[in-house]
């Protein structure tokens, strides 16, 4: 569709300053957990200016708690609304969810930043600021893609459901709330920071805690006790062996550039309470990666069975087995067939805009894609303009060129996926619509 592409490309060029200003404004509105309302107000205002149907609500923590996939360190979400904008199609086309999170991680030690973390400073084609790459830049790409279609008079057959959600960094409560509110579609696109790589598969993860027992004694006669710290070293080495075993099974070519596809990270170790006492208890906490085609229950079972084998390495564990518990955050794994029609559309339009083949890989981290795929029955792809290597880092930045290239690719992908209302500029689109969209009915 060369004529359509030219029009979209020109519109993106003509509105580059507008898009840059929008992104800067969003970055300058800090949206750490519990403080998302200001940034969401900017998003809602923009969607209203575009003429979209708006649905904004603060998720109901008491309702979310009833769901097995819910996790959040908080139970109520005042000052933290979800915002959804719907670009209704004319009917007969496939629908799509465009899902981006508005929440950002804390800015950390400000002395490590060259500029204020929320300055939105622009230098040499880059914008800097907390959340600019993860993932407000991707959100702006989505908004510009929709705006380019509307202002070029292109009517889609399928519905486009834009979601600006909270809580992705803490486990996905915002996306879960949107799913439970009734938002589903034939597919979804999430512009997480992928360096414009396409991720049809996303690793899942979950937090675990292991209690390792010892036997206390006076430090002067430590040989009378059993050090839980020393026993925890055996446990840690055992977990490392499990990581090697699990990763040795993975032959998916999408992971060929990832040294450890599904890591088991040990992030916390605490034990002992007195320098002159043999420690009798150690707590180890970590994060277990879950393969895209694996269930979280399968991963849990493998960890539990593996820890039972510790007694083969040390008889101490036969009478004093470590206690395993699962707690805190979790991200559901997700996977879409690499030949899925949305994948084909996205790859095709990437080639048209970028003039080269995209890199297709599996995500090394979790996203809300698993929730959309498994809970929302909406298969998801991750593709965005952000810089993977600087997400959560000081001096986080994004390449502005990539924001606008991604917007153009997504706009053209929406045309191919959702279908157009009429033949236009010699373009004929196929229609295979399945789902109609209505505004959420509230929690």
Q: Which is it for strands 82-87 and 334-335: parallel, antiparallel or unpaired?
A: unpaired
| Catalytic, out of 55, 107, 167, 168 | 168
What secondary structure does DSSP assign to 93-104, as a single string? S--EEEEEE--B
Helices 2-14 and 400-418, packing angle to 10 deg? 140
- CA–CA distance, 17 with 145 (Å, rounded to integer): 15
SS3 content of the chain, % helix, strand, coil (to 5): 40, 20, 40
**Residue in the block written with tokens 């996790």:** 71
**Residue 203: closest CA among 389, 332, 373, 329:** 332
- CA–CA distance, 439 with 177 (Å, rounded to integer): 13
Indicate if 168 belongs to the active site: yes
Q: Contact, 169 vs 104, CB < 8 A?
A: yes
- CA–CA distance, 39 with 31 (Å, rounded to integer): 6
Give, in order, the Cα–Cα distances in Å from 137 to each of 55, 128, 218, 317, 366: 22, 11, 58, 50, 19
For residue 300, what are its two tokens? Answer: 């849990």
Indicate if 401 belongs to the active site: no
| Catalytic, out of 103, 294, 368, 396 | 103
- CA–CA distance, 138 with 365 (Å, rounded to integer): 17
For residue 383, what are its two tokens? Answer: 């593709």
- CA 127-406-257 angle, to 5 degrees, is 90
Q: Give first-to-last CA distance, the chain, whole Å.
A: 42
Quote the DSSP letter at residue 381.
E
| Residues annotated catalytic, as ranges | 103, 168
């Amino acid at each position: 569709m060369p004529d359509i592409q030219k029009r979209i490309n020109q519109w993106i060029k003509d509105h580059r300053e507008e898009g840059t200003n929008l992104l800067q404004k969003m970055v300058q509105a800090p949206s750490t957990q519990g403080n998302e309302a200001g940034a969401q107000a900017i998003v809602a205002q923009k969607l209203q200016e575009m003429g979209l149907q708006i649905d904004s609500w603060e998720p109901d923590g008491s309702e979310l708690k009833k769901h097995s996939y819910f996790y959040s360190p908080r139970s109520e979400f005042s000052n933290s609304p979800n915002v959804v904008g719907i670009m209704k199609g004319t009917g007969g086309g496939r629908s799509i969810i465009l899902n981006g999170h508005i929440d950002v991680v804390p800015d950390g030690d400000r002395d490590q930043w060259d500029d204020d973390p929320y300055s939105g400073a622009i230098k040499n084609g880059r914008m800097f600021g907390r959340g600019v790459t993860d993932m407000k830049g991707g959100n702006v790409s989505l908004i510009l893609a929709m705006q380019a279609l509307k202002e070029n008079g292109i009517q889609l057959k399928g519905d486009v459901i834009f979601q600006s959600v909270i809580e992705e960094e803490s486990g996905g409560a915002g996306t879960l709330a949107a799913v439970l509110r009734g938002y589903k579609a034939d597919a979804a696109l999430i512009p997480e920071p992928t360096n414009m790589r396409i991720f049809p598969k996303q690793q899942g993860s979950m937090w675990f805690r292991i209690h390792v027992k010892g036997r206390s004694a006076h430090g002067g006669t430590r040989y009378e006790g059993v050090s839980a710290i020393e026993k925890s070293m055996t446990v840690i080495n055992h977990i490392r062996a499990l990581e090697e075993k699990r990763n040795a099974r993975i032959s998916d070519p999408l992971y060929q550039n990832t040294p450890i596809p599904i890591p088991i990270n040990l992030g916390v170790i605490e034990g002992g309470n007195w320098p002159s006492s043999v420690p009798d208890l150690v707590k180890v906490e970590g994060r277990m990666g879950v393969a895209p085609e694996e269930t979280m229950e399968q991963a849990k079972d493998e960890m539990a069975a593996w820890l039972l084998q510790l007694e083969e390495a040390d008889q101490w564990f036969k009478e004093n087995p470590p206690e395993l518990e699962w707690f805190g955050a979790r991200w559901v794994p997700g996977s879409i067939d690499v030949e899925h029609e949305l994948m084909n559309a996205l790859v095709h339009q990437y080639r048209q805009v970028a003039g080269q083949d995209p890199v297709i890989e599996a995500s090394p981290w979790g996203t809300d894609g698993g929730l959309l795929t498994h809970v929302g029955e909406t298969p998801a792809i991750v593709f965005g303009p952000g810089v993977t290597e600087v997400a959560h880092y000081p001096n986080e930045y994004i390449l502005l060129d990539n924001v606008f290239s991604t917007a153009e690719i997504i706009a053209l992908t929406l045309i191919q996926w959702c279908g157009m209302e009429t033949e236009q500029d010699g373009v004929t689109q196929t229609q295979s619509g399945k789902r109609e969209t209505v505004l959420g009915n509230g929690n």
